[in-house]
């Protein structure tokens, strides 16, 4: 396999999964010999590029921009990984789902609970619109692999990347799922 074109994406998550990625320490140096990071919150490109080999998607799908980006990722990427429990199940980001649709929640928080100048601080078209229901990634696009954990421990991320680099199926099982 030639050099891997790797992307990482930050959707509705806390960035803890990306922090865990950076915890791979010296393996990141090995990875730099094998892969180019073509899109990431820690890199600069604004547009998701074509011909990406692997994308790790952190976070659940929580707004309309996430939906659009998820479809772009799927069209342009060979292996899409739901990276961390928010992407896999919704997890923390989906904790608002039982409260119902977005509009009443925003009304309750920003207007009814305000002591002065209560108003919803968003303007349509300026910031992404929240979805009424937060969704795990696989509900929006087909996903090739799941990397569970909150966050996934660095050795687990490394194990999946090693499998992908070796051309093996990106499936974690047994000891692969041990925390360290
Ligand atoms: Fe943060 Fe955990 Fe969600 Fe990762 S899975 S984005 S660490 S809350």
Mean pLDDT for the chain? 92
Residue 88: other Cβ atoms inside 10 A? 21
Query: pTM for this one?
Result: 0.92
Q: How many CB atoms lie within 10 A of CB 98?
A: 6
Tokens of 169: 């199926």
Residue 151 Cβ inside 6 Å of ligand 1? The answer reads: yes
Reported as a single tens digit per residue, the pLDDT across 72-104 is 999 999 999 999 999 999 999 999 999 999 988
Q: What average pLDDT score do residues 105-113 get?
A: 90
Topology of domain 4-179, per CATH? Rossmann fold (3.40.50)
CB of 92 within 6 A of ligand 1: the answer is: yes
Ligand 1: which atom is nearest the Cα of residue 59?
6
Q: 3-state class of 170 per DSSP?
A: coil
Q: pLDDT class for 174, splitting at 50, 70, 90?
A: confident
Under a CB-based contact definition with an 8 Å cutoff, are residues 84 and 148 in contact? Answer: yes
């Amino acid at each position: 396999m030639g050099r891997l074109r790797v992307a990482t994406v930050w959707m509705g998550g806390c960035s803890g999964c990306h922090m865990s990625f950076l915890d791979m320490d010296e393996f990141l140096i090995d990875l730099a010999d094998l892969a180019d990071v073509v899109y990431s919150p820690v890199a600069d490109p604004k547009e998701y590029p074509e011909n990406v080999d692997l994308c790790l998607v952190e976070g659940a799908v929580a707004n309309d921009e996430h939906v659009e980006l998820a479809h772009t990722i799927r069209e342009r990427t060979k292996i899409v990984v739901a990276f961390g429990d928010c992407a896999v199940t919704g997890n923390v980001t989906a904790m608002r789902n039982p409260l119902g649709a977005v509009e009443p929640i925003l009304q309750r928080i920003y207007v009814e609970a305000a002591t002065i100048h209560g108003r919803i601080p968003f303007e349509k078209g300026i910031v992404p619109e929240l979805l009424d229901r937060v969704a795990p990634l696989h509900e929006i696009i087909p996903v090739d692999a799941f990397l569970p954990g909150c966050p996934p421990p660095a050795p687990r991320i490394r194990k999946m990347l090693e499998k992908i680099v070796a051309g093996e199926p990106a499936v974690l099982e047994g000891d692969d799922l041990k925390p360290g």
